[in-house]
Amino acid sequence: MEKQIEYFTQYIKRNPFWRFVAVYADNASGLHATQNGPGYQKMLKDCRKGKIDLILVKSLRPLWKRCKRNT
């Protein structure tokens, strides 16, 4: 996971139109564990505060499962 974080951090910082906010990562396995994870909850909080308007993810599948359950 460390290499993925480094890759995306640098990818974001190289784009002059983006501002890096934070890394939101949880090492839990399973949908329920990650949905309640502190990284995921912090990301939702920052989205509500307007700090985030774009989220980059390695894979859409875990995020899609979370969003699908929340609707």
Q: What pLDDT score was predicted for residue 51?
A: 92
Q: Is the predicted pLDDT of residue 26 greater than 60, yes or no? A: yes
Q: What one-character DSSP code corresponds to residue 25?
A: -
d(CA 58, CA 21): 17
Displacement of CA 26 from its chain's centroid (Å): 9
Q: What is the mean pLDDT of residues 22-33?
A: 69
* pLDDT for 58: 75
Exposed (0-12), middle (13-18) or buried (19+): which is 8, by Cβ within 10 Å?
A: middle
The per-residue pLDDT for 28 is: 61
Tell me, yes or no, if the pTM score tops 0.85: no
pLDDT band at residue 4 under the 50/70/90 scheme: confident
13-39: average pLDDT: 78
